[in-house]
Every structure is written in C-alpha cells, then in structure tokens.
Structure 1
Amino acid sequence: MSRQKIAIVGAGLSGAVIGRELAEAGHEVVIFDRRDHIAGNCHTERDAETGVMVHVYGPHIFHTDDAEVWDYVNRFQAFKPYKNRVKTTSRDQVFSLPVNLHTINQFFGKTLRPDEAKAFIEEQADTSITDPQTFEEQALRFVGRDLYEAFFEGYTQKQWGCSPRDLPASILKRLPVRFNYDDDYFFHKFQGMPENGYTEMVDGILDHPDITIRLKTGFDRKDTGNYDHTFYSGALDGYFDYAKGRLGYRTLDFERFTYEGDYQGCAVMNYGETSVPYTRITEHKHFSPWEKHDGSVCYREYARECGPDDTPYYPIRLVKEKEQLAEYVALANAEEGISFVGRLGTYRYLDMDVTIREALDTARLFLDLHDKQERMPAFLNPPL
C-alpha cells in the first residue's frame, strides 16, 4: 500500500484517533488546529492556584458499552472509576437526577414502592397525548406537569433558548425515569475519568513519529490540494465559507470562581428554574475524587446562541437547520479527496465514545478502500 500524505483538521478526539490509525498504517499525517492546545473541547489542565484538574470547556465524563473503545482509551491513559451523580436545585430543595424513586418520593412527600410509583406517575401523566411530537408533550405524557415544570421546563428553556414546545420530543427520550433508587446518571458498563486528564490521553494518541501537529494554524479549502486526502472535523458550514448560511449552534459561557473548601459537595448541580440565569454549577475537583485539594474551582454555566466568534457546542437541528444541512451535505458529497468527521463535521451531537468509535471505523474504511483503490466517501456517518 503506497504511503499517502494525509491532512487532518482538528486535534480533538476524531482527528487524533484517525491520525494515529493512519500513521500506524504507514501514512504521513499532518494535523492542524486553530487553538493553541490539543484535545479540542475535552482539553484539561491543572489550575495553578489550587492544583485541581479543570475541564476547560466544561465537564466531559467518559461512559460506554463499547469494550474496544474502552480498551483503546485505556491504552493511552489509565482510567479511574467515576460515576456521574447529578443533583438539581428546585423549589428550595435538592433532588437527584435522573428522576428516580427517591426523587419521586421526596418531591411528592410519599414513601412509594416501585410498583406504586409507576402507577402514581401514570396518574400524573397526560394520557390524552398518544403521539408526542414536542419536548413538552413528551414530558407531560410520561411524567406529568408537576415533574415537568420542576425539573425540565426551565432548564430546557435556558439550555436551548426557546420554548420546550418548539423542541422535538427526541431530546427528552434520552432522559430516563427510574423506579428504583439508582442515581447513576449513565447506565453504561464502562465509566471513568482519565487519571491525568484528557489532554494527556490525547497527547499519547498523537505521540507517533509520522504525525506532525500544527497548532494555531488554520486550514483553508484550497489547502486540500496539497494532500492525498483530508479528514475535516471543523464546522461543515465553515468549510464552505457559510455559502448556505450558518448552521445553528448553542454555545456556553463559563463564569469561573474559586472556593476554599468544598463548595457544593458534588460535581454537578443543576438549576432548573428560570429565575436562576445559569443552567448548572460544576465543581471540578469532584471529577477526580481520587485526588485531594483544599481549594476548589467551579464554573457557573450559561447557554446562549452561538455567534461567529464563539465555540460551538450543541447543534440545534430544528427544521431550519436541517434544510440548510441538506444543502451542505450535497456540497460535501460533490467534493473529492475529503471526508467530514466528528461533531462539527457531521453536525451531530456525539458522546466521546461514539466519536472514537466513528473515528476508528473511518480510519479502517479509508485503509480498506485505499488498498482497493476505491474512493473514500464524504461521510461515513451521514448527518441526515
């Protein structure tokens, strides 16, 4: 198999994993990133004042059922056990999320058993809604108005900047209701945090003699001609200079503050009421419970519409964005020598484990097609 010169745009998880796989197969890989650091939005660094490992762009918690992906990340960084247990402040009380048997009993002042709680919540539900189409209808159908207004309505309005009546029901389908006392936010077999942070893990992935990293360096569409193939994990609309308009994203602002001691006793505290302007407070030392620190670093997190100079976090994917997206997909499919990958390149919300799985699959497909002298598609995982 002939050695090729590969450009990868973005030194986050997608770019790092694809780059490593292709370098190990004998190709020359050059990775570009506009930022001054690797690891993308999962970048971590130690706070000089407190020694706390800080998730600079907000918390990233690794969870997966994919054994190969779990083994892959542990190859480059030892993962410590970590369970995400989220709390929420509502109506002057602190509750556990996801909504579970403890939440239900505490909220309604009852001592229901699992079967009793199921029947009780079904009584609260609006059973006249047979085919929920919006976020609000989904919530009203399955948990009823009281739980919806306490835990979902305000938080969702702040997070997405619009009424839950305007959001698709699919967003809420990711949030379970449990009729036991399990308060583990995720249900995956493998859960953990990298012992020394995600940036050190990504640095290990990128540590290969056939990988060159160019930080603080942009990549233009015309630059693809200098490479045999390009993998692009930047914004899909940005690659085409926003010719069809900007796709919609939500971004996050972080108000950082320090505290001497333990500020809130947990890693994540949500605030569901609209009277509180931020969506949550994260206390970063609790993401590394095996470490001990006297001081603490916290972030108040605010969500808003993403502007041209902001870091995009969550693709909105409402009707308007999907219509634009279809136009960009058509443009991408007409390109030669480039594949679009990752959260920004495919305009999809992806957890870290899915990002890594898709990156591994993308690299393997490229190697297979290159061996067969066949064309690599623009998308391994089409956005629509």
Structure 2
Amino acid sequence: MVGAGLSGAVIGRQLAEAGHDVSVIDARPHIAGNCHTERDEATGVMVHVYGPHIFHTDDTGVWDYVNRFAHFMPFRNRVKTTSQGKVFSLPINLHTINQFYGRTMRPCEARSFLEGEADTSISDPQSFEEQALRFVGRDLYEAFFEGYTVKQWGISPKELPASILKRLPVRFNYDDNYFFHRYQGMPKDGYTAMVEQILDHPKITVTLGERFERREAAGHDHVFYSGPLDEYFGCELGRLGYRTLDFERFEYEGDYQGCAVMNYGERDVPYTRITEHKHFSPWEEHETSVCYREFSRACEPGDIPYYPIRQIREKALLADYVDRARSERGVTFVGRLGTYRYLDMDVTIREALDTAAVFAQQGPATPAFVTAPL
C-alpha cells in the first residue's frame, strides 16, 4: 500500500483480514494523509492539520465500517459567510435570502422572487457563472460565489463547469445544515486515531517517512498506489494541475468566530475562509482557539496537492497517463491522487472496499483502475 491514508488503510485492512501480508509505506511522518488530526499541545484543541474534514454519507455500509474503528460524535457543519459587512448562512436558504434582501418572505414568495432575479435567458447552463446567474441571480452570485471561486480556483467562474455549483443547492426553508446526508459526524478522538485502529492488525506493517520507488514493487505480489498518478511515472508526460492550500495559523483567547467555518467571498479579502478548530469538537471545552486562515494557490512541485483542476488541458494529459497506467501490471491506482478526482471521505472508503473485493476475486490480475478516472 503506497500511502497510509484512507485508501491504503482500508484496502490494507481488508486484505490483511483475508490473510495477506500487507506493507504500508508513506512519505510523511504520520498516517491518515490529509485527514490527519493531532492534539495541539499548548491549547488541547484537536486540530485538522491539513484543513477540516467532516464525515458525511448516505452509504450505510461505509458508516458501519468507520464505526468499527472509531466512536463518532454527532456533528452538523453549519457554514457562515461574511459579505458586505454582514454574516449570512450557507448554503443559500430562506434566512439568507430574507436577510440579504431585507425581506420576510415565505418559501413560495422567496421561490418566486428568486425566479424574478434569475437570468431565465440561460436555458442550459454550461459554466459555473451561468449556473449561478440562472438559479440565484447576479446579486447573490456576486456576494457569495464569484469572489470566493476566483480565489479558490484561480480562474474566472466563466471557465469552470456548472457541475461544481450543483453541489451547493438553494433551500427555501431555514435548514442551514451544509450536507444532506443521513449519517454525519466526527470521530471523537480524531481521524488519525481511527486510521491507526484500521491499520492495527498483525499482518500489517507500516513504514513512515519513506518514499516509494517503483523498483520496490518487484518484492510484492501487487501494489496499490494512492500517490499522484503523474508522479508514479516521474511526470514524464507533464504535471497534472492541482490547487494547493496555505494555512496561516493563529490562536485566540476565547471564541473567535462562533462557528467552525467562516467563508469570505469578497475578492479584497485574500483568504477564502477561516476555520476555528475547537468547533469541530463541540463536545470539548477549550479556553483558547486554534484558527487557520486558508489561502488557495496553484500547486508547485513539492507542494501538497489538494484539488485536481480537471480542465480541458488536464483531462487530455490525464487520458495519456491513464493509457500508460493500463499498460502496467501488478499495480492498481486508487484514491484522490491515484485517480485524479475530488473524492469525499465516504466515497474514498467505498471505493477502497470495492477495490479490495475485486482483488479478492482477481488477485494480481486486478486492473490498474477499479474506478475509471475519466
């Protein structure tokens, strides 16, 4: 298993329970990948080191799986956004609409009102901007989405697909729960403790702080690779594009913002959001807060890749790497980096479980991709 994140840990555990000897290797000095959490020594706050991760799913099998290895506490992500000197709720809901326009509309009135604000000349939205203008109109688009999107992706919303915004619905009620999923929660002792339990099996060995070299594959029946797809091939065809994140950490005596996530949609604020980590563990009490200001930028060599861009150029390059990968034998590419797709944690775990099941049937003949990247 190349990578001790969710993909490597889950596949490794499944195969270890089936009787295989499993070696897990990771270049970082810790397990759990980007969902790594650690207890801050000075404040006692459980910190999401690489940015916040909130577990949410409708997959009962995945929910049951993670609850084997961690005690999940109830958690609802209620995101706020600061715009025009005021604080609003996201996703856009009835409270957001009434507050923004200074009205007291009922659901049916708000629905009709927004239809009047929307650009109904757009019948088939193709870009992020067209999707927003069609469904919420220019005022809400400019207040909450335009600036944030430019900062997050580094390009105009005109150049992004409409599908990105489809993940952010408009609600004509006062529900401010960010996610729709039936199961939502946070592991009481953090994600790293959960991954540690997944990896805790006598047939699993873990090596940290060591990079995988392709020549090492010869000593194993099969390799499951969750690192960057292009890096497996030495970036011979070019680098796939990612956005990375920089975090500006600061402490605050007391409660800094009263919520876990505060977005900043205006372009003149350089960061996209501030996360206050003690609010990700509301069952705990801490006098001091640990906060992150989050800045998005283009990923350079040596940076941690977060968000695959998947624009036209990247998709063409991805197709070339997929062809190269399918010519390999004895290696399967998994996870967010291995398949160059944005994946929530529950989808990552589901695909890892499915991959292990395929290997149980096909062994080393398991294909390069159990889930197609394109």
TM over 0.5: yes
Aligned to 2:367: 377
Report the CA distance between 1:326 and its aligned residue.
0.2
SS of 1:218's equivalent in the other structure is: coil
Which aligned pairs between 1:142-221 and structure 2 lie closer than 5 A?
142-221=135-214
Amino acid in the other structure paired with 1:37: H
Distance 1:203 1:369 in 2: 28
Distance 2:165 2:32 in 1: 29
Distance 1:259 1:313 in 2: 27
Which aligned pairs between 1:60-209 and structure 2 lie closer than 5 A?
60-209=53-202
Distance 1:41 1:183 in 2: 26
The partner residue of 1:57 within 50, 56, 59 is: 50
Distance 1:162 1:334 in 2: 34
Query: 1:79-99 CA distances to partner (integer Å, 9 max, x unpaired)?
Result: 000000000000000000000
Aligned to 1:241: 234
| Ranges of 4+ aligned residues in structure 1 off by more than 2 Å | none
Distance 1:338 1:259 in 2: 47
Distance 1:321 1:166 in 2: 14
Report the CA distance between 1:333 and its aligned residue.
0.4
Distance 2:239 2:170 in 1: 36
Q: TM-score, normalised by structure 2?
A: 0.99
**Residue 339 (structure 1) aligned with residue 339 (structure 2):** no
Amino acid in the other structure paired with 2:350: R
Aligned to 1:322: 315
Query: 1:253-289 CA distances to partner (integer Å, 9 max, x unpaired)?
Result: 0000001100000000000000100000000000000
Distance 1:24 1:323 in 2: 39
The partner residue of 1:287 within 280, 286, 306 is: 280
Query: 1:235-261 CA distances to partner (integer Å, 9 max, x unpaired)?
Result: 000000001100000000000000110
Amino acid in the other structure paired with 1:145: R
Distance 1:254 1:295 in 2: 18
The partner residue of 1:34 within 23, 27, 44 is: 27
Distance 2:183 2:267 in 1: 34
Distance 1:222 1:148 in 2: 51
Amino acid in the other structure paired with 1:29: V
SS of 2:82's equivalent in the other structure is: strand
Distance 1:267 1:312 in 2: 23
Report the CA distance between 1:11 and its aligned residue.
0.1
**How many residues end up aligned between the 2 structures?**
374
Distance 1:24 1:383 in 2: 28
Amino acid in the other structure paired with 1:33: D
Amino acid in the other structure paired with 1:185: Y
Distance 2:185 2:134 in 1: 34
**Residue 303 (structure 1) aligned with residue 291 (structure 2):** no
Report the CA distance between 1:131 and its aligned residue.
1.1
Percent sequence identity is 73
Which aligned pairs between 1:344-363 and structure 2 lie closer than 5 A?
344-363=337-356
Report the CA distance between 1:221 and its aligned residue.
1.6
Query: 1:266-321 CA distances to partner (integer Å, 9 max, x unpaired)?
Result: 00000000010000000000000000000110000000000001000000000000
RMSD: 0.6
Aligned to 1:4: none
Distance 1:322 1:352 in 2: 23
- Structure 2, gaps ≥5 residues long: none
SS of 2:192's equivalent in the other structure is: helix
SS of 1:9's equivalent in the other structure is: coil
SS of 1:126's equivalent in the other structure is: coil
Q: Return 222-231 or 190-199, whichever deviates more.
A: 222-231
- Structure 1, gaps ≥5 residues long: 1-7
Report the CA distance between 1:59 and its aligned residue.
0.3
Which aligned pairs between 1:256-267 and structure 2 lie closer than 5 A?
256-267=249-260
Amino acid in the other structure paired with 1:378: A
